[in-house]
Amino acid sequence: MSLDQLQAVVTIAEEGTLLRAARRLHISQPPLTRKVRALEEELGVALFDRGARGMRPTPAGHTLVASARGILAAVDAAAVSVRRCADGRGGEREGPGPER
């Protein structure tokens, strides 16, 4: 599991189709297919229901999307905290707090 894959899952869930998600992620559709399938195989769980209309998240997929949003936000917050800690001054408490 990688942050890349989590971002992919979140975007697909938001867009509903691989093509639109791929456009938003600045990649092509086939790599996205592989990313999702790889994650599904790694977890041993189907994350999306494929239909002729697009992809709809399964209950497991929905759960993962919710968790992934928090994780991605935490990563971003961590980067900000680290830069804050060394950029201007040299002392800051750990403050990635604003998660979820």
Among 1, 24, 34, 82, binds DNA (CB under 7 A): 34
24 contacts which partner out of DNA, its own copies, none, CB within 5 to 8 A by kind?
none
Q: Cα-flanking dihedrals φ and ψ of residue 57, to 5°?
A: -70, 140
Q: Cα-flanking dihedrals φ and ψ of residue 50, to 5°?
A: -85, 125
| 20 vs 74, beta carbon nearer its own copies | 74
Q: Is 36 in the site for DNA (CB under 7 A)?
A: yes
Among 24, 27, 63, 25, smallest CA distance to 43 is for 63
Q: Is 30 in the site for DNA (CB under 7 A)?
A: yes
Q: Is 89 in the site for DNA (CB under 7 A)?
A: no
